Amino acid sequence: MDSPKYFEDFHPGQKFLLGEYELTKEKILAFARAFDPQAHHLDEDAASRTLLEGLSASGWQVGAIAMRLCAEHLLNHTHAAGGTGVEECRWLKPARPGDILRLEVEILAVSPHPRRPVGFVKMAWDLFNQREKVAHIVTTPIIARRDAAA
């Protein structure tokens, strides 16, 4: 990206392809040990006997990967001022060791704050592996307006 983006640089329908992340068994186990110590994230044998039918990343890890890709490739190249939260988060398919995860973001809506020099940019984040969509997240970052910089 060129110069940092302001609120006015975003419009509904705009799409961004935001990088890739390689998921490994070691990364899945490390995250699970630290943050989601359930058997289907920690033990391949136990995971094979679950509905997931094998070792898979925690949904929270999948969300963190999406956040990393969005921050590195988009938000860190804007005048971001925080966020309003996550409106929707769906873990659609298991993310497994060896998956190469890629993030696609679409701008759903933009609205200026009525009193402050920022705006709300509602985004849909779709995270894919090599075969299918594994997660869908809707969130609304707060981005500074260009006229606030003047």
pLDDT by residue (tens digit) across 6-40? Answer: 999 999 999 999 999 999 999 999 999 999 999 99
The tokens describing 15, both together, are 């799409």
CB 141 within 8 A of CB 121: yes
Given CA atoms 112, 65, 103, 134 in this order, what sign does their dihedral have?
A: negative
Each residue's pLDDT tens digit, 41-66: 999 999 889 888 899 999 999 999 99
Rg (CA), the chain: 17
**Entry field: residues in the chain:** 150
Which domains, ranges and CATH numbers included, belong to the chain? Answer: 7-22+59-149 (3.10.129.10)
With a cut of 90, say whether residue 93 has pLDDT above it. Answer: yes
Q: Smallest Cα–Cα separation from 123: which of 103, 145, 95?
A: 103
Return the H-helix or E-strand segment holding 36. Answer: none
